[in-house]
Amino acid sequence: MTGPAHRSVTVRVPAKVNCELRVGPRRRDGFHDLSTVFMAVGLHDEVTVSRAAHWRVEVTGLYAHLVPTDEANLALRAAKLLARHTRAARPASLIRIDKDIPVAGGMAGGSADAAATLLACDHLWGLRLDRSVLAEIAAQVGSDVPFALAGGIAVGSGRGDRLAPVLARGSFHWVFAVSDVGLSTPEVYAECDRLRGSDRIPTPEPGTAMMAALRSGDAEALAEVLHNDLQEPAFSLRPELRTVLDAGLEFGALGGIVSGSGPTVAFLTRSTEHALDLCVALTASGVASEVKRAKGPVHGAQVVAGPSRD
Ligand code: C5P
C-alpha cells in the first residue's frame, strides 16, 4: 500500500504515565535532567494527515476545545520541523487530531500528537526515515515526543528524551482520575525549584527497586515503588489533588501517583475488575471530573491507515 494514490495517513498514538520521575537540578537552558520510567498506556489519540493547499489543524474529541490550532500546536510544529529538515516538496498538510488523551494532564497528549504527526508525515510524504532519525527530530519538538514514538516501557534520561528500553513482564491495570483544568508543565517545574530552594539536588538515577518490580510483573510491587518528584509541586499548586489521591487509595487502589506534571492522578489496580470497581467508586465520590481506565504497556505510535511498511 504505497504510492501517490494515498492522500492521507492515520496514526494511533498512546498516552504515557511516569512510574518514576526523578528531577535533577535546573540546568542553564532552563530544563532539568531527569531519570524517568515511562510506560505507554492504552489511551489513544488518532492523527490523520492529508495533503492540503495550506497548513491547517482540526481537533475533534472530548477535549478539542482545549487544544490550540495555531502555531502553538505541537503537531503543527512537528510537521513543519520535519518538512524543513527533509526539504519536503509542497509539504502543506491538514492535520486532524481526534483526542482521547487528557489535555495538559501530565499524560503527554500534545507530545503524542506531535509524534503521531511525524510518523504520518513520514509516510504521507514518502520519506520513510529511520526511526532513530524521527526520534532525533521528535526530541527537538519536546522532551516526551521520542517516547510517544517508541512506546512500551523505557527509562528516559537527559530531558527525558534519551531512551533505553526496559524489560518488563505482563500488563498493568491503571485508573486515571482526570481533572478538567490542566496544569502547566513549566509552572510545575518552577514550583519544584521554588520548593527546593537552595537544597543540593543530586544527579537523578533510576531506582533498582523499580526495575525489579517491572521485571516481576507484580502490580503490588510496582505500586510500592511509584515515585514522582513533581507530585509535591503539583499538590502545592493544586491542593485538591491530594484529596483525589487519598480517595483512590481509600477506595482500594494498590498505589497512586500524580502523572508527570499532573493534574491527572494515576492509580494501579490488580485486575480489570478491580479497575472497574475503582472507576465506579471514584466517579460516585465526585472527586474527579472524569475517570478513565487503561492497560499498559502498549505499543508506541503506529500507522493504522494509509501507506505503511509496518
Ligand atoms: O520539552 P517540553 O516542551 O515538554 O517541556 C515543557 C517545559 O517543561 C519546558 O519548557 C521546561 O520548563 C519543563 N521541563 C523541564 N525539564 C525537562 C522537561 C521539561 O524543566 N526535562
The residues spanned by each domain of the chain are 8-166, 172-296
Q: Which range is least confidently modeled, 21-25, 164-168, 279-283?
A: 164-168
CATH classification of 8-166, choosing from 3.40.50.2000, 3.30.230.10, 3.40.50.12780, 2.40.50.140?
A: 3.30.230.10
* Mean pLDDT value across residues 236-252: 98
As a whole number, mean pLDDT of residues 25-43 equals: 97
- Residue located via cell numbers 509496518: 310
Q: What is the pLDDT of residue 90?
A: 87
Place of cell 530544563: 31
Q: Does ligand 1 have an atom closer than 6 angstroms to the CB of 264? A: no
The pLDDT, as a whole number, for residue 247 is 98
Ligand 1 center from residue 204 Cα (angstroms): 16
The answer, yes or no, to whether residue 186 has pLDDT greater than 50, is yes
- The CATH number given to 172-296 is 3.30.70.890
User: Which whole number is the average pLDDT over 29-33?
Assistant: 96
**261 ligand 1 Cβ < 6 A:** no
pLDDT, position 1: 39
- What integer best gives the mean pLDDT of the chain? 94
Is it the case that residue 5 has pLDDT exceeding 50?
Answer: no
**For range 264-290, the mean pLDDT:** 97
Check residues 90 and 17 and name the one with the higher pLDDT: 17
Any atom of ligand 1 within 6 Å of the Cβ of 143:
yes
Residue type, 27: R
- Identify the band that residue 243 occupies on the pLDDT scale cut at 50, 70 and 90: very high
287 contact partners, CB below 8 Å, separation of at least 6: 177, 243, 244, 247
- Helices (H) and strands (E) counted in the chain, each on its own, are 10, 12
CA of 160 to the centre of ligand 1 (A): 9
Confidence of residue 58 (pLDDT cuts 50, 70, 90): very high
160 lines ligand 1 (CB under 6 A): yes
How many angstroms is it from 268 CA to the middle of ligand 1? 26
Question: Which of 159, 183, 228 has most ligand 1 atoms within 8 Å of its beta carbon, as the pocket-test mutant?
Answer: 159
Is pLDDT above 70 for 6?
no
Contacts of 280 (CB under 8 A, 6+ apart): none
